[in-house]
Amino acid sequence: MEHEPSENQPETSDSRTASEQSTADGPSPYVPAGKSVAELTIKAVGMGLALNVVMLTANMYLGMRSGMTISASIPAAVISMGLFYGLRQVGIGGSILENNIVQTMTSAGEALAAGVIFTIAGVTFLDQPINIVNTAVVAILGGLLGVLFMIPMRRYLIVDKHEELPYPEGTACADVLEAGSRGDEGVKLISVGFLAGFVYMWLANGMAAFRTTIQTAFSAGETDGFAIGGDFTPALIGVGYIIGPRIAGYVFGGGLISWMMLIPLLITGGFVPESAADAALMTQANEVWEAYIRYVGAGAMIVGGFYAVVSMRGTIADALGTAAAEIRDSGSDATADRKRTQRDLPMKVVVGGAILIALALVAVPQVQVGLLGGFIAVIAAFLFVAVSAYLVGVVGSSSNPVSGMAIATVLIAALALRSTGVTDPVVVLVTASVVAIAAAVAGDTSQDLKTGYLLGATPRNQQIAQMIGIAVSALFAGWVLSFFDQAYGIGGNTIPAPQAGMMALISEGVLTGTAQWGMILIGAVFAFVLILMDIPVLPFAVGIYLPITLATPIFLGGLLRAGIDRYVARRDDEDGTLAEHATSRGRIVAAGLITGEAIMGIVIGALYITGTGNADGAPFPIGLDAGTQSILGVVAVVALVALFTATVLWNAPETEATDQ
């Protein structure tokens, strides 16, 4: 989708701080290429691995409970800054590039968790137990494919397309790390956001003082089933602020198509599952969304994904050409003299590693996808790694439709394997797992490499750190998944794991001939119409596929960004000093909100695991009724937005902008 970056550039241009001061060759990194700074050190690796396991566990729980994970890069950066600050007090300390290695390794656990819970967890819906060893093998193979396939695309996507692809989380993470290294202001902004997100989620999920989810369903004339609402959490609002109003609007537009048009039409037409036939409108809307609309979103994602691959054929060809050229020139003077900030892992390692993984997918008993399944997994992984790495550059990792790519793989693999006589849906799920994990890891890797590019990190060191983080995450992933299944039961009230259930449903449906092909075709036609109208397909498809409760708070965050930008623009001077200052502050506060919610998610998850609270209630409820909780929920959202706005605009450099 080559038209998307230029459409979104006004939202993201010139919003960086010191590291964004451009030269003819691109932005000047925070650490110059000619300067040697501690980076891949023992203390950075140790700290990164410890946080890696924590974020893996937290995001597995949150992802299966809420249907989405939270990017771990920014929380890890903030935590590591605090740890390094403590070490500095005893004379040890650490560099900004060591901080970057910590967040790179930590985010590997979050990315791998997303791929695992969206696919491998689906075996429980097929009455199969979680196999710890098999999960570890599939996870490490898929994760390493994601890193290796991203390497030849790094220079084109991260460097050459720097002005067009903002990589919101990667850029925000660089802001956070720079702010922490510059001094008090950045730390204060992060702290305000962190405390707001932390306290907000404790009051909501820890004490049930208010509801974060506010939704309703209603009728209009003879048409039933209109539904609207939102899960107004700090992280989702923060993500919306970071990606900006345009992309947030596309996602919300897709949600409106689903919940204010398609679902009412289906309910009025009698397309309601028997389990919800006599239920309330909200229950009916949710049942119709799960039974039909997600297939529409899947169909749109399939067309959008393939269109993105076709649109990126030049990028993929360039990446392959770069890989071939670097293999030929391996060991030459040009390669040896390359700047530190331009050194990737050698292409021989990339190609050799990919070949070994492809062979392992076919030969290793724990994978068991066969020759055809292995071929599909490798080809689909390469294509969707390209799509994922590009897409997160526009909409961010939090809106990366990994599950949509997995659905596309499930459909392709199921159809192909069915033609060869395969009847076991677990084989289809494992094939899709490799692709989903690779796509999730590639999106995360590209964000981390963007952070490193802005800070002046060595790409090779980050790639090595990512691989170490993936290896450790994979070893723990099966055990953590099995633990949650034994503790709560995957698919139950506490951890419903909606994406995993969808993957199992589709894989079994295709193999048995019960899939909703009509709905998939509707989504495909809808995506084709969007392409003809020159409208970005994947953000709309994400909105169709996701519950409206996720699209609405993201849109609210985008509106908040638009409002602050417009207010600042009226007061700003021609040089844009005030606008740049406000944008940078907003990203840092948004990063704090995401961090606070993520950490509180770990706390609440630990309380549930240890038996405090239950699947239907908060650990320490204060006993308010539902009506009061809803009213206080609205008050809490308004207060959060007001605090965010005041923090961003507080102490803005008016005199500096006007004096110039």
**What gap in Å lies between CA 206 and CA 613, rounded to an integer?**
9
Q: Which residue has the higher pLDDT, 321 or 201?
A: 201
Number of Cα atoms under 13 Å in the Cβ half of residue 223: 11
> What tokens were used for 1?
């989708």
The distance from CA 427 to its chain's CA centroid, rounded to whole angstroms, is 26
Q: Which domain holds residue 414?
A: 36-112+136-212+228-331+346-649
Q: Got the DSSP string for 374-423?
A: HHHHHHHHHHHHHHHHHHHHHH-GGG--HHHHHHHHHHHHHHHHHHTT--
Q: What's the count of helices (H) and strands (E) in the chain, helices before strands? A: 27, 4
- Nearest Cα to Cα of residue 589 among 3, 186, 291: 186
- Beta strands 26-27 and 22-23, pairing class: antiparallel
Please give the Cα distance from 125 to 491 (Å, whole number). Answer: 7
Model confidence pLDDT, tens digit, residues 441-461? 999 899 999 999 999 999 999
46-94 pLDDT, tens per residue?
A: 999 998 988 888 778 767 876 666 677 777 777 788 788 778 778 777 8
Mean pLDDT of 414-431: 87
- The total of structural domains in the chain comes to 1
Decide if 462 is inside a domain: yes
The answer to whether the beta carbons of residues 353 and 381 sit under 8 Å apart is no
Number of other residues whose CB lies within 10 A of the CB of residue 542: 28
Q: State phi, psi for 470 to the nearest 5 degrees.
A: -65, -45
Cα maximum dimension of the chain: 75
Q: Which residue has the tokens 């849109």?
A: 555
Cβ–Cβ < 8 Å for 343, 397: no
Angle CA 184–185–186, to nearest 5: 95
Q: Is residue 510 part of a domain?
A: yes
Those residues with Cβ within 8 angstroms of residue 537's Cβ, 6 or more apart along the chain or in another chain: 1, 300, 303, 304, 307, 308, 527, 530, 531
Separation CA 300–CA 522 (nearest Å): 8
Residue 130 covered by a domain: no
Alpha-carbon span 229 to 282, nearest angstrom: 11
Q: Which of 97-101, 308-312, 369-373, 457-461 has the lowest mean pLDDT?
A: 308-312
Check whether 233 has a pLDDT greater than 70: yes
Examine residue 19 and state whether it is found in any structural domain, yes or no.
no
pLDDT of residue 260: 95
pLDDT in tens, 499-542: 788 788 888 888 888 878 899 899 999 999 999 998 888 778 87
Distance CA 122, CA 504 (A): 5
Say if 26 falls within a structural domain.
no
Q: What is the Cα–Cα distance from 358 to 352, expressed in whole angstroms?
A: 10
Distance CA 43, CA 48 (A): 8
Is 483 contained in some domain? yes
**Helix H or strand E encompassing 227:** strand 223-231
pLDDT (average), residues 363-374:
82
Q: What is the DSSP string of 192-211?
A: HHHHHHHHHHIIIIIS-SS-
pLDDT, position 573? 60
Pick the closest to residue 96 from 173, 166, 185, 169 (CA basis): 173
**pLDDT classification of 278: cutoffs 50, 70, 90:** confident
- Full 3-state SS string of 446-492: HHHHHHHHHHCCCHHHHHHHHHHHHHHHHHHHHHHHHHHHHHCCCCC
Buried (b) or exposed (e) across 129-152, using 16+ Cβ within 10 A? ebbbebbbbbbbbbbbbbbbbbbb
Does residue 376 contact residue 416 with C-beta atoms inside 8 Å? yes
Contact 188, 648 (CB under 8 A): no
- What are residue 226's phi and psi, to 5 degrees? -65, 135
Closest listed residue to residue 235, CA positions, set 544, 634, 557? 557
Question: For residue 651, what pLDDT band results from cuts at 50, 70 and 90?
Answer: low
Q: Quick check: is 660 in a domain?
A: no
Residues whose CB is less than 8 angstroms from the CB of residue 186 and which lie 6 or more positions away in sequence, other chains included: 175, 176, 178, 179, 180, 588
Cβ-based neighbours of 88, under 8 Å, separated by 6 or more: 94
21: pLDDT strictly greater than 60: no
Q: What is the pLDDT of residue 653?
A: 53
Q: How far apart are CA 500 and CA 503, in angstroms?
A: 5
HSE of 373, CA atoms in CB hemisphere, 13 A: 28
Specify the pLDDT at position 8: 33
Q: Which amino acid is at 437?
A: I
> Range with the lowest mean pLDDT among 84-93, 357-366, 427-436?
84-93
The CA distance from 636 to 630, in Å, is 10
pLDDT tens per residue, range 163-182: 778 887 888 788 878 876 65
pTM value is 0.77
- Judge contact between 258 and 297, C-beta under 8 A: yes
CB 478 within 8 A of CB 130: yes
Q: d(Cα 441, Cα 398) in Å, to the nearest integer?
A: 13
For the ranges 24-38, 139-153, 358-372, 540-554, which has the lowest average pLDDT?
A: 24-38
Torsion angles phi and psi, residue 218, rounded to 5: -155, 170
d(CA 461, CA 468): 11
Helix axes 184-201, 577-609, angle to 10 degrees: 40
Give the phi and the psi of residue 490 in degrees, each rounded to 5. -65, 130
Mapped onto helix, strand or coil, the DSSP state of residue 597 is helix
* Burial status of residue 20 (CB atoms within 10 A of its CB: 0-12, 13-18, 19 or more): buried
Residue for token digits 């089933």? 225
Q: Which of 239-243, 399-403, 507-511 has the highest mean pLDDT?
A: 507-511
Give a yes or no: residue 610 inside a domain. Answer: yes
Confidence of residue 23 (pLDDT cuts 50, 70, 90): very low
Q: How many CB atoms lie within 10 A of CB 86?
A: 11
Calpha distance 576→568 (Å, rounded): 9
The two three-digit tokens of residue 272, written as one number: 């309601």
Q: Which of 186, 258, 192 is nearest to 225 (CA)?
A: 258
